[in-house]
Amino acid sequence: MADRPVRAAIAGCGENGIGRGTRAGADLWFTHAGAYSRHPRVELVAAADPSADRRELCRRVWNVDRLYPTVDALLAAERIGVLSVCTPDETHASVALTAIAAGVPAVFCEKPIASTAADAEHMVTAARQRGAVLAVNHHRRWEAGHREVRAMIARGDLGRPLAVTVLFAGGFRRVGTHAVDLLRYFFGDGAVVSAATFPDESVQARLRFNGGVGATVTAWPKSGSGAYDLFEIDIVATRGRVRVADFGAQIHHWPVMPSDEYGGDLELARQASVVPSDMRSAFVNGVDAVLAAREGAPLASTGEDALEAVRLLEAIEEAALATPAATGRIRA
């Protein structure tokens, strides 16, 4: 007899939970409802949201009819195998802690894990104590191209990193959590060296990772003339360069090779090779990883990892406040 599907539920029927109201495009690829709908071993059976309109959208678009105004009501009525936490950042901790206390075996939480490191610590501790899976959707970690870049770094294909740069536009916490998490994914544990804010509200931070790898994060709010989305990471190293652009959809690798024109000199290859990536697979791969973790497999994106990301963001904010030339607080 075929295994019964795992019963999934979503807390928070917003953009990330269920999307804008279609069953196509970003709604299908970059929402939890879309990922569950495409996963053969999962059935999305229930959802909770205080907004009646959002619950109605979930019913209409994703055919979910067990809908509740609160997570407590959902958990009282349903036996759930995995709960997605897609509520606003500051509510992740209370929703996840409620689910873990109710015996839900796996929580698939949106990033950032929480809005403070203290909240994130409670989540990590509760999950450990109850033996629950706590996965955080830093979704690049579930994607093959990013996994390959990490493997290239680990194998030494790129040599020693000389300059690592992350650029992003958008909320410092909301997008920045991806930036610092990806740096940790590639280079291991990190610490903040310095940070400053500027009159245009941009932020620049220097971080140092395992083995002395230095990285610069430059970010600016997505507003005014800079109101377009951007997220890139560039790794220039002694044996080559990798650039992850277009939100991970384009990853290019240039190995170092002898120059055709200047005998004896080395330079980057003129033509980059493509590192295949498929960002559309990321959310459904995440669901897959959560199911595997329920059966004991190691997770690529744990609550502990996400807690470290929040700690780094808090350390950047503290360093920026303490920098004499800084204009002050970083806009979240």
Q: Which residues are near ligand NAD by CB under 6 A? A: 11-17, 48-51, 54, 71, 86-89, 91, 95, 110-111, 137, 139, 174
Q: State which residue, 92 or 243, has the beta carbon closest to ligand NAD.
A: 92
Please state the closest distance from residue 296 (CB atom) to ligand NAD, in A. 25
Q: Is residue 86 within 8 Å of residue 17, measured between CB atoms?
A: yes
- 327, burial (CB in 10 Å: exposed 0-12, middle 13-18, buried 19+): middle
- How far is the C-alpha of 50 from the C-alpha of 12, rounded, in Å? 8
Q: Give me the residue label for tokens 């503290």.
A: 318
Please state the closest distance from residue 86 (CB atom) to ligand NAD, in A. 5
Give residue 261's identity as a one-letter amino acid code.
Answer: E
Report the candidate in 144, 39, 140, 285 with the shortest Cα–Cα distance to residue 293. 285
Please state the closest distance from residue 228 (CB atom) to ligand NAD, in A. 16
Q: State which residue, 12 or 105, has the beta carbon closest to ligand NAD.
A: 12
Please state the closest distance from residue 114 (CB atom) to ligand NAD, in A. 9
- How far is the C-alpha of 195 from the C-alpha of 207, rounded, in Å? 9
**DSSP letter at 104?**
-
Task: Tell me the residue nearest to ligand NAD as measured from the CB.
Answer: 14
Q: State which residue, 206 or 280, has the beta carbon closest to ligand NAD.
A: 280
Q: State which residue, 17 or 240, has the beta carbon closest to ligand NAD.
A: 17
Please state the closest distance from residue 40 (CB atom) to ligand NAD, in A. 22
Entry field: residues in the chain: 332
Q: State which residue, 160 or 331, has the beta carbon closest to ligand NAD.
A: 331
Q: Is residue 105 within 8 Å of residue 132, measured between CB atoms?
A: yes
